Amino acid sequence: MDRNEIRRIAQHTFANQQSNQESWYRDAVSYYEGANVLWQHKDSISGGMRVFLTNAALSIELLLKAITISKGGKAAKTHELTGLARDAGIAFTKNQVATLELLGEVLKWSGRYPVPNNEKAWDRYYNDVHEKHVIRERDGNVATIRANRETFPSIEVYLMLWDIANQKWAEIQLQQATVSTLREQRNA
């Protein structure tokens, strides 16, 4: 008997893992926990903010995919968090969508590489995505540039996104448990 047959008998197949909502959720929680630890130590890590954002973004991606799978869907092969949020049935605010858009860019390239695959993506990021998170003010000859606290993925903004999605996960799990209990009672 070969290894593939053993995995098939043990029901540890690609298809089973791909549709295993608990596996997706466990991984999401692992990256969530990692993001929290990295936030606490971001100042002592070279590129610490980028490392935090990468783990935060990945935790949100995995959680959104777990939700979609738990609702009977398939995990889309994308890092576009705004689309994954739609698939999961979560309506985030305009500011939260802007944060998800930035975190999606982190997953696609800025969490791993100094530049995206092409100059068009670079310009789109800085002219469209990044600019939503910058507040520019001028007082006479003095210009001030700062992060938009409502959209920039700080720990507070990240935790809010996580809590919203995790609440959706909990609601679905409760519904599934209720349906399962009712079936058991009906079959008893």
Q: What is the model's pTM?
A: 0.90
Give the rounded percent of residues in the chain with a pLDDT score beyond 90: 73
Nearest of 83, 78, 60, 95 to residue 169 by alpha carbon: 60
Structure tokens at 32: 């969530």
| 162: confidence class by pLDDT, cuts 50, 70, 90 | very high
Find the distance separating the first CA and the last CA of the chain, reported in whole Å.
39
| 26: confidence class by pLDDT, cuts 50, 70, 90 | very high
Distance CA 162, CA 119 (A): 32
The per-residue pLDDT for range 89-109, each reduced to its tens digit, is: 999 999 999 999 999 999 999
The per-residue pLDDT for range 138-154, each reduced to its tens digit, is: 999 999 999 999 999 99
CB 82 within 8 A of CB 104: yes
The per-residue pLDDT for range 163-186, each reduced to its tens digit, is: 999 999 999 999 998 988 888 888
**CB hemisphere CA count around 136 (13 angstroms):** 3
Distance CA 124, CA 141 (A): 29
